[in-house]
Chain A
Amino acid sequence: MKKPRHLFELFFEFFKIGAVTFGGGLAMMPIMRREVVETKGWATDEDIMKILVISESTPGVFAVNAATFIGYKIAGFLGALVATLGVIIPSLITISIISFFFIQFKELTFVSYAFYGIQAAVAILIFKAAFKLSKKIHFNLFVSMIFIVSMILALLTSINVLYLLLAGAILGILYGVIIQLKEAKKA
């Protein structure tokens, strides 16, 4: 496997990836694969697969997960740091500039009209994202119950979302233990 000549080269590569990716981390993966695996030869397809699998079962911002993992594979801790900074800094620059004008910009009449439409689009995009995620899990009775209860509680009460996540994790562990005990009894 090749190595970047300099950490700056690594930074610049991930900066490019961060600057051209629209719509979140998963959209970034094909571009990252093309640049880092095909063009530069710094990592392998296996590395890309690994980070996809790891991200399935770890929390966090997907793009940062990918940059940290691939950066570490390429050049250790500094590589991870430089790649992560690279992928973040384009956002930081773009959004900072937009933020300075955003509130005033929104007060223009026709822009405020536009944002009624944009909010509706955002609602649909969020729904689509949830639907996509739901295709990746297997809905048995337990999983469906958790899904429905979490949705209803979040919709109808102002309960802290973190408690719901915590409850979900604990129930998952309890359920896993019960299933295991049942199987142990059968055997």
Chain B
Amino acid sequence: MILELLRLAWIFFKIGLFTFGGGYAMIPLMESEIVGRNLIDINTLYDFIGVAESTPGPIAINMATFIGNEAMIQYGILPRILGSVVMTTAVALPSFIIILLIASLGSKFLDSKWVKHAFVGLKPTVIGLIISVSVALMLRLVFPLLSLKNSVYDVTIFNYKNLIILGVLILINRIYKKISPILFIFIAALLGIVMYGLF
């Protein structure tokens, strides 16, 4: 059990270490590392991102706390808060160590041309990853059976309700560009209830 806990902590350490450009950059990593290992299912992951967006605190920390808790149910470890504490610590640790080194030793190594060159390649990679996650999620909402990653090109089930919800939300987002994420998610939740509850 302790071994499983440590293995999961190592995954979160890696996620914390390879996150660039805000909490969203960790979503592709979480999808491949956490969902890929069947710790939570993909719907729960994206549902909870919605919750993490509308509760206080950094998204990365919120996600680590939640998945830590869920994984404890899987492992059958009773004090579920233990998983939350361990995973949250693990995801924060790389930042803490790296910034501590920079704050105490100075940021000279950041001026190294190797670091700069690496970032020239890393940034577009991260952006590509984040967009792929978003596109895959939209496709999955509209074609639930389609799974590009697993070469399943089944589009026989077409969820028009989700397509309408997506369309309306994109429209809202075009008109109110500065809409707060919380309000946006709230409107989306209402739309979901209306589309599925009334029709």
Which residues in window 140-185 of A have CB below 8 A to B? 142-144, 146-152, 154-158, 160-162, 164-165, 167-173, 175-177, 180
Interface SS majority for chain B: helix
Interface string of A19-32 (1 = CB under 8 A from B): 11111111010000
Q: Which of B55, B170, B189 contacts A95 (CB 8 A)?
A: B55
Whether the Cβ atoms of B128 and A116 lie closer than 8 Å is no
Cα of A98 to Cα of B85 in the assembled complex, Å: 15
B169 touches A (CB below 8 Å): yes
Residues in A neighbouring B48, C-beta threshold 8 A: 102
Give the Cβ gap from B88 to chain A, nearest Cβ, in Å: 6
A92 part of interface (Cβ distance < 8 Å): yes
Contacts of A171 in B (CB 8 A): 121
Once bound together, how far apart are the Cα atoms of A171 and B117, in whole Å?
9
A18, B162: Cα distance in complex, Å: 34
A123 touches B166 (CB 8 A): yes
- Contacts A98-B55, A126-B134 hold; do A162 and B99 have CB atoms under 8 A apart? no
A88 — which chain B residues lie within 8 A by C-beta? Answer: 57, 61, 88, 92
Chain B residues whose C-beta falls within 8 Å of the C-beta of A161 in the assembled complex:
18, 28-29, 31-33, 129
Structural contact, B120 and A143, CB atoms closer than 8 A: yes
Please list the residues of chain B having a beta carbon within 8 angstroms of any beta carbon in chain A: 14, 16-24, 27-29, 31-33, 36, 43-44, 46-62, 65-66, 69-70, 80-81, 84-85, 88, 91-92, 94-96, 98-100, 102-104, 107, 110, 113-138, 141, 148-150, 161-162, 165-166, 169-170, 173, 180-182, 184-185, 187-193, 195-197
In the complex formed, the residue of A with least CB distance to B119 is A57
- Could you say which of B85, B104, B107, B120 has the most chain A C-beta atoms within 10 Å of its C-beta? B120
Total CB contacts across the A-B interface at under 8 A: 380
Query: CA A102 – CA B45 in complex, angstroms?
Result: 12
Partner of A147, one of B96, B117, B128: B128
Given contacts A23-B181, A88-B61, A119-B141, A150 and B128 within 8 Å (CB-CB): yes
B56 in contact with A119 (CB, 8 Å): no
Instruction: Name the residue of chain B whose CB is nearest to the CB of A151.
Output: B128
Residues of A in contact, count (CB < 8 Å): 100
Q: A24 — which chain B residues lie within 8 A by C-beta?
A: 22-24, 58-60
Cβ A154 vs Cβ B128 within 8 A: yes
The contact of A92 among B61, B117, B138, by CB within 8 Å, is B61
Main secondary structure of the interface of A (DSSP, over half): helix
Whose C-beta in chain B lies nearest to the C-beta of A115?
A: B47
- Shortest CB distance A150–B (Å): 3
Taking the nearest CB of chain B, how far is it from the CB of A142, in angstroms? Answer: 8
Q: B50 and A175: CB pair below 8 A?
A: no
Within 8 Å of chain B (Cβ to Cβ): is A12? no
Most buried by B among A51, A69, A102, A118: A118
Interface: A39 (CB within 8 A): no
Q: Which of B43, B49, B99, B125 lies in contact with A68, CB distance below 8 A? A: B99
15 A–B contacts from the bound complex (CB under 8 Å): A23-B53, A24-B59, A61-B95, A99-B80, A114-B192, A120-B192, A121-B184, A121-B185, A143-B123, A150-B129, A162-B32, A165-B125, A169-B121, A169-B122, A170-B121
